[in-house]
Amino acid sequence: MKKLRLLRQEYIRRLIRCTFNSKLVGIYRIALGTIFAALGFMKLFSENIRKKWWIHLDEIGLPFEYLNHILVPSLEIVIGVILLLGFYSRIAAFLVIPIMTLPIYIHLTILCPNIYISESFEVFLPSLSVMMALVILTYGGGKWSLDLKFFPEKF
């Protein structure tokens, strides 16, 4: 029984950390991490973008508006740094998907889409982020990731 539990734990560890040695996936991971970290910093520290972020949260009527105003950008920064390092990339990519559904929802339902942060991109940037997250979720962190350094073997 103990041996079975250890085998299951090893399988889960390999499932989460093993990655393919792909430059394209590494580029996707670095690009997504840069986007997330930059947008998180801008939502917290740029006055113009912070005001737009408040307008969005107010207009869509999310509960706990003040908590979301601070928590979401902070989480974006943390996920961005994790993706840039390539440490537990699949978990970070899994967290990207629900976070990016909010901008997609905003673009599709908001009354005044001109006030959105990336107004020229419409739904393109959030959708692209979800697609890159799905690639990272499938293939791992790719080249130049800490996951590849510590767990070089593939499935």
Report pLDDT digits (tens) over 99-141. 998 788 777 776 555 555 555 456 788 889 999 999 999 998 9
> What integer pLDDT is reported at residue 110 of this predicted model?
67
pLDDT bin (cut points 50, 70, 90) of residue 25 is: very high
> Does residue 31 contact residue 141 with C-beta atoms inside 8 Å?
no
| Structural domain contains residue 25 | yes
- The structure's pTM equals 0.84
| Structural domain contains residue 133 | yes
> Does residue 107 contact residue 123 with C-beta atoms inside 8 Å?
yes
| Structural domain contains residue 1 | no
Q: How far apart (Å, rounded) are the C-alpha atoms in residues 148 and 139? A: 11
Q: Which residues are CB-neighbours of 91 under 8 A, at least 6 positions away?
A: 16, 82
Structure tokens given for 56: 């969005």
Say how many domains are in the chain. 1
3-class DSSP state of 141: coil
pLDDT score of 32 more than 70: yes
Q: Which domain holds residue 138?
A: 10-150
| Structural domain contains residue 5 | no
| Structural domain contains residue 4 | no
pLDDT score of 78 more than 90: yes
